[in-house]
A = this chain, B = another copy of it.
Amino acid sequence: MNIIDIARLAGVSTATVSRALNGSDKVRPKTAAHVKRIIAKVHYVPNTSARVLRVGKSMLFGLIVSDIKNPFFPELIDKFEALAVQQGIDVIFTHTNYDPARQAHALRRLVERNVDAIAVMTSEISLKGLEAVKVVGTPMVLLNQLELAPNFNNVAVDYISGFGEAVAHLKELGHRGIGYLAGPASLSSALCRTKAFHAAMQAARLPVKKQWIAVGDFHIEGGYAAMTQLLRLNNPPGAVIAANDMMAVGALQAANALKVPIPKRLSLIGFDNLNACTMLTPSLTSIAVSRDEIAVHAFEMLFRESSAKRKSKAQLHTIQTRLITRQSTGRPVK
């Protein structure tokens, strides 16, 4: 069942069927209605591949994320997809599991699918695959890839002020010794956060002790191990900031296991403000990053660029954070 069949059934040309289908104003309303009635009757479904081939626009956006199991991403995906559907755009979704090779592969597949734009919302760094996008000229937006900001659109989280708030909060509570659970060095977002932690400590004129920094994997397990490492020191820090909430969850469990009461003996701050923060006991103080805001700005950059006639310069949008204080932070007890 194709447009020729419909044309025959309706007694018109395929051009007229096409116009009726696309709501062109160059069809007599009565003709359009007649055609549409027939289309509905026989359940005709137009072939999008043919349309895309002809028109050159696919009305498809690609969305690549690192890790759909980290609750950070589903909220971002949710919003991004909602915005797309509002514009009649479908989303091909894929995830890399933090693997740069998978990211390059994903990028290539999306370009082959003729997607109109690509949001690369991943934490890992990878330049491979970008050339394919560049050659084809598909609009693209990256997340926190500031070193690529001159050439590619970016949505970036203001980590500096985020960690600044967290450190200031702890300092105000009376903490001087602040430890840090870092993310893996392979992720650009982890590196950004570590850098921001150092900057925040310096701004607060607090010393960073090397043995108070432990490296985790951005997951619960790594947070548990890293926190355990710090708590076993002879002089553990009285406060710890985790580079993300998942590691903070592990840190909380480690403190429980070692009978270190929170916040009495240990103040803990996470990053991301996942829903889980309120589910924990004690509830977790965290630095909030709006996933909706990331999605909105990423989508709008792409939508604007994919609708524009001419290529525009790379944009950068910075997302502000907000500290949400809960039960896991308090005054240190001597």
Binding site for B on A (CB under 8 A): 1, 43, 45-50, 52-53, 58, 60, 68-69, 71, 73-75, 77-78, 81, 85, 90-95, 105, 108-109, 111-114, 131-132, 135-136, 220, 249, 253, 256, 275-276, 279-281
Determine the chain B residues whose CB is within 8 A of the CB of A220 once the complex forms: 275, 279
CB-based contact B114/A47 at 8 Å? yes
Contact indicator A90/B92 (Cβ below 8 Å): yes
- How many Å from the CB of A29 to the closest CB on chain B? 23
Given A78-B69, A112-B46, CB of A93 within 8 Å of CB of B95: no
- 16 chain-A/chain-B pairs, Cβ below 8 angstroms: A43-B131, A43-B132, A47-B112, A47-B114, A49-B50, A60-B92, A69-B275, A73-B74, A81-B93, A81-B94, A81-B95, A90-B92, A90-B113, A253-B279, A256-B281, A281-B281
Nearest B residue to A78, CB-CB? B68
Instruction: Give the CA-CA distance A53 to B111 in the complex, in Å.
Output: 17
A262 vs B116: C-alpha distance in the bound complex, in angstroms? 53
B45/A132 in contact, CB under 8 A: yes
**How far does the alpha carbon of A136 sit from the alpha carbon of B47 in the complex, in Å?**
11
Residues of B within 8 A of A53 (CB): 47, 49-50, 53
On chain B, the residues within 8 Å of A94 by CB distance are 81, 85, 90-91
Separation of A104 and B43 alpha carbons in the complex (Å): 14
Q: Are A45 and B78 in contact (CB under 8 A)?
A: no
> In the complex, which residues of chain B have a beta carbon less than 8 angstroms from the beta carbon of A92?
60, 90-93
CB distance A45 to B90 under 8 Å?
A: no
Contact indicator A112/B48 (Cβ below 8 Å): yes
Neighbour of A109 across the interface among B71, B90, B93, CB < 8 A: B90
When distances are taken between beta carbons in the complex, the residues of chain B under 8 Å from A1 are 135
Closest 7 CB pairs of A and B: A281-B281, A93-B93, A43-B135, A49-B52, A49-B53, A68-B74, A49-B49
Contacts of A135 in B (CB 8 A): 1, 43, 45
CA of A75 to CA of B73, assembled, Å: 12
CA distance A198 to B52 in the complex (A): 52
Chain B residues closer than 8 Å to A112, beta-carbon distance = 45-48
Closest residue on chain B to residue A250 by CB atoms: B279
Query: A150 CA to B333 CA in the complex, in Å?
Result: 66
With A73-B74, A90-B94 already in contact, 5 other A-B pairs whose C-beta atoms are closer than 8 Å? A49-B53, A49-B58, A77-B93, A81-B93, A90-B109
Across the interface, A276 reaches (CB within 8 A) one of B45, B46, B58, B276, namely B276
